[in-house]
Amino acid sequence: MNLKSLRIVLIIATLMSSFFCYSQIQLSSEEALNKFIELNKTIEATFPQNEMRTFRRESFSESQLKMYLTQHFKRLDLIPHIKDNHVLKLDTYLHSANWFRLIGMPKESINSYKIFFEYYDTNEQNLTNAEKKAYLKMRTFGYDMLADNYAKVSYLDSAAIQHKFNIKFAKQHNEISYPSSINNYGLFFYWTKKDLETALVHFHKAYDIIVKSKFSKHYLLGSIRDNIADIYVEQHKISEANMLYHKNFEFYKHTINVDLKSLDIARLTSAASQYISTTLALNHVNKANKILIELDTIINDPIHKNNLQSSSILEVLKVKEALYFKQKKFKHAYQIASEVKFLEDSLNSLTATTEQKWLTVVNSIVLDQVKQNFLMETNLKENKIKRQRSNLWITTLISSTFIILLLSIIMRRRQYLTIAKNKQQLAEQWLEFTALKNEKLNIEIESKKRDLSDFAINLSQNQEWAKALANKLEQLKTTNGRNRKKLLDDFEQEIQNKIKFDHDTENFYDRLEKLGDLFYSTLHTNYPNLTKTEIRLCSLIRLKIDSHAIANLQNITLASLNTSRYRLRKKLNLSEGDNLDEFIQFL
């Protein structure tokens, strides 16, 4: 075996050894579960899953974010090693999907949602009826959020398909998720497609369903009403929008958010700000002022003040600015405008800084995760290497021996096939050489035959001339006196003409062949059975020389020329209606 083959053997043996070793050091289900519980306790101590701050970017410092992401990825890596514990796995996948969505990582959220749904569909039969019922709401919510994520990454067709699927799924159950899924589909048309009419149709449909159902006081009612009002504003239906914003302001003042277990100050502030804006648009300045005073009273209450977000403060400042302008209190309006500008700049700067911080931390976490996985595998290998060594060497020895034998057989087989192939190629080359040689000999034979034919024709013509000359010689013998001398001179002149004619004719045909190389090539290619005399006849016809001149050039009679033309027509496969001269002119 050569060096390359030995190298292949070593690589394969190493891979098999690594695979064998890796298969022996996998975490047991119990070990993975214990590690998962420890990680969960550490995470919950700082950022509990049931608190909203866990799902907000601004809640994390850079070090906290790095720690949280690291622990979260470790937790996800442990799940595949845990057997059963289906609820624990489903909750972890769902939490991961929701967390990634709310902190602005839609692609990671899509992956987690897909894993959640795939795991649920595979293991639904292992869940109790109570667990299935509990996951019903989570699944409908997850389907909606998956569609929303698709829209955020511009997979619009996938988003539309997912929305339609969820509406059909939610309709099967008499739950709040049905009008919620229709409302979310409307938001898809409103925010993503910019199709106000279609969005409004879905919002009204969701609103009608919820008003006529047992959920008529549900918090979703305010969201749908707000969506309808927003579209009315864009359609310049200010009065209709103002009425809906008023209803929402009253609704949020007295409705407890189930998740927050308190008033939703952000929604209340937004509803009030929109109510004030539309009231000002209707030129009801005093009414707008009263609403603003009421809003200030609510948000400055110590109970709610700590829950007020920067975005809500910005909304309030903007409507104050608009109100002061309407009241012509330009100095106050200018002061508020300065505060708005400062706060907007601060929020934009904070957003940019946060985005950069998250990008840096996420990249760092990916590298740390790879490093951590490597260290974990290394530690596990070191702990169990002693009991693996004997099995490893035996497996490697057997595998290497088998591979060496296999490669030896393959190399011999390849060598045999190479020799056989070379022999076959040599045989094929010899056959090709023999065929080419035979073809060359046949061409030479055909050429000799044509030359013999031309020689025979010339010999025949010379014999006829010799007979004519003999007749004249006999006539000369019987002639006396002056006539004898004249016949003798004619006889001598005819011999000289014959000599000169043969020489001149050869020169003429040599020049003709040089000037008509392409024509000769065409004749040889298309009609290889033509004699040299017949090719010359074709050349003379192509030069449009009349029959008498051709007969003189070839030193034959007109009758002999006609016979030659007839034979030429046969070899050119011309019918009786074809004109030989025209045919040759167009070759």
- pLDDT given at position 366: 47
**How many CA atoms, within 13 angstroms, populate the side-chain half-sphere of residue 269?**
24
Instruction: Determine contact, residues 316/295, Cβ cutoff 8 Å.
Output: yes
Could you identify the residue written with the tokens 């074809």? 578
Distances (CA, A) of 122 to 96, 132, 427, 559: 19, 13, 63, 103
**Rounded mean pLDDT of 393-404?**
83
Token representation of residue 330: 């330009």
| For the chain, percent of residues with pLDDT exceeding 70 | 81
Q: With 90 as the cut, is the pLDDT of residue 123 above it?
A: yes
Confidence of residue 537 (pLDDT cuts 50, 70, 90): confident
Token representation of residue 186: 């409307």
Q: With 70 as the cut, is the pLDDT of residue 66 above it?
A: yes
343-383 per-position pLDDT tens digit: 888 877 766 665 555 555 554 554 455 445 545 556 666 66
Which H/E stretch holds residue 541? helix 532-542
Distances (CA, A) of 448 to 1, 42, 457: 60, 105, 14
542-560 per-position pLDDT tens digit: 888 888 888 877 778 888 8
Q: Which of 41, 101, 37, 46 is nearest to 68 (CA)?
A: 46
Whole-structure pTM value: 0.56
Q: With 70 as the cut, is the pLDDT of residue 446 above it?
A: no
Of 166-170, 192-196, 574-578, where does mean pLDDT reach its minimum? 574-578
- Beta strands (DSSP E) in 70-126 are none
- DSSP letters, 257-326, are ETTTTEE-HHHHHHHHHHHHHHHHHTT-HHHHHHHHHHHHHHHTSHHHHTT--HHHHHHHHHHHHHHHHH
- pLDDT given at position 73: 85
Q: Which of 9, 63, 69, 71 is nearest to 36 (CA)?
A: 71
Which of 145-159, 367-381, 406-420, 471-485 is most confident?
A: 145-159
Q: Which of 513, 549, 518 is nearest to 533 (CA)?
A: 513
